[in-house]
Amino acid sequence: MLELQLSSKSQTEHVDVINTDTTAGPPINATDWTMHFDMPQADWNETLESASETVDQAGWQDNGIQSQLQQTLIQPEEIAIVSLQHGKATNEILDSTGLSHLMKLDLSHYLAWAKLDDVSLPQKCLRWAMRALAASMSSQFRSRSEEFYNKARRLAEGLDAGDLVLPWLNSDTSIEQAQTWLLLAHYELLDPSKYSQSATTRRAFRLVHLSRLHCTDWKDPALDFPSCTPGTSQSATLPFASVEERRRTFWVAFCLDRFLGGYEESPMTIHDETIHVHLPCPEWNFQISSEVNMGFINDVLIGGTPVPASSPFAKLVIAMALFGQCILHKKITAKCPTSDQESLTFWVRHELLAEAIDRQVALLSLTQTDVEYEPLHFMTSMVVHGSVLKLENAINVAHSVVQSQQPVANDYAKTAYKAAISMADLSESMTGSNCLKTHVYLPMLLGKAFLYLAAHAEPSQSQHSKAKLLALLESLKEIHGQAKQFIDGLDLWDTVGKMESGTMNFITGQME
């Protein structure tokens, strides 16, 4: 469900970062990026690569799969055939599909790229990664996802293996390489018990950094003086759609980094101070390559610049940024020694974060229509409420600091409880047909809300809300390994609890 824009590559909008001038932008400081670790679904039934690819495609083309695809997916070759037979343009065929204008535009861009026979190896890697992730989120083709994943990973690893120098010394990368490894990282999150995230995410973040995506909109401060030429960004010479693709690829990596900080409690790799990237623009502007000026993330967080309602991805980025700052706030609190100064600093940080979250909560307006047609709205709401839980969790860690502001802590505990209840109510709005659209990060947030309600039980409302959360986790466990892990953990917890309870009853009976 992550970033439909990864499937929106047209022949004219393709950007190759191999020849990007890496001397532009701020100097890379090794301490800025700490490498602690190795979108949404695309229509992966595109024109297959030429027979020269070393892969057995007989299974992919078998009659059973093909007949199902004809019923469920729009075939590029079918559109071309119908167009020739009836003398209709491709646009007219797309008009007959019943899709929205934006989806028609997205599909036409995708088909323009998918029909190319002579594509680079990084583009082939990306195609297979897109197929793997899309298949994994499909009820019909999930059994083929592992095959596509292995193919994508083998090709991606071959890019590094073919280097004449050590791979970590090679700075020549393409944006498709970074996108491929990001998609593979998201694929692995669907089954965390099988895959180790460290190697894949480390590779993805390394490629994002080498491509200098974090300074896509960086301007040299020296160029802002009147005696100098106008400020130029690193991507000033690229067309808008290509620059926007770089931005969006970076923000996917950013969201993944913040998610892993909450899921694995791992140190965050992308630091806020190094980010010189505009927020992603509204989808329509990206599709038609119409430039629009989006602000920087810090300008939005301090309340100075509003995020357009037509840019759901930008809203998700803002929510993930707040989520990451709440995680960092908790870690700082846990490590710093207690003092009067630290106590004051803690509450200043808390107030700033609480106000920023409140501004985002006020902007949330979720309806069933939003859940049905824009899953990112649903995910953004979950992340914002999850940030409240993280912020309240930081208060629980700072026992000695809280004593000076106990009333404030008590009030925020009530706010966090309401946030967990809201997450449960939102989970109920997610119908079975929408489970295939759910974000790969969702099970982690559902689990956090469930555990919070379990630890702050108020019998009537908490039990009902926990049941809502558990019901959605149950419906997700076939696709999302995180959901299955959580439910299995609850079953084990319940079994141990019953055993302990039985032992206590036996001992009590013996004593009596």
| Interval 201-216: pLDDT, tens | 999 999 999 999 999 9
- The per-residue pLDDT for 58 is 34
Span 94-99, average pLDDT:
49
Span 454-468, average pLDDT:
82
- The per-residue pLDDT for 148 is 95
Q: Which has the minimum average pLDDT: 174-178, 259-263, 459-463?
A: 459-463
Share of the chain above pLDDT 70, in %: 63
State the pLDDT confidence band at 21, using cuts at 50, 70 and 90.
Answer: very low
- The per-residue pLDDT for 304 is 66
Is residue 181 predicted with pLDDT exceeding 60? yes
- The per-residue pLDDT for 383 is 96
Q: Tell me which residue of 205, 215, 313, 219 sits closest to 267, measured CA to CA.
A: 205
> pLDDT digits over 249-284, tens only?
999 999 999 999 998 788 899 999 999 999 999 888
Rounded CA separation 140/65 (Å): 9
Is residue 169 predicted with pLDDT exceeding 80? no
User: Which residues make Cβ contacts (< 8 Å) with residue 496, sequence separation at least 6?
Assistant: none
- The per-residue pLDDT for 109 is 61
Q: Which has the minimum average pLDDT: 152-166, 359-373, 378-392?
A: 359-373
User: Can you list the alpha helix ranges (DSSP code H) found in 367-480?
Assistant: 368-373, 375-397, 399-402, 406-429, 442-455, 459-476
Rama region for 433: left / alpha / beta (φ>0; ψ in -120 to 50; rest)? alpha
Domain ranges of the chain: 1-22+39-220+233-252
pTM higher than 0.85 for the full model?
no
The chain-wide mean pLDDT, for the chain, equals 73
Residue 223, both tokens:
């160029």
Residue 313 near residue 255 (C-beta atoms within 8 A): no
State the pLDDT confidence band at 230, using cuts at 50, 70 and 90.
Answer: very low
Number of H helices, E strands in the chain: 20, 0
Whose structure tokens read 């909008």? 13
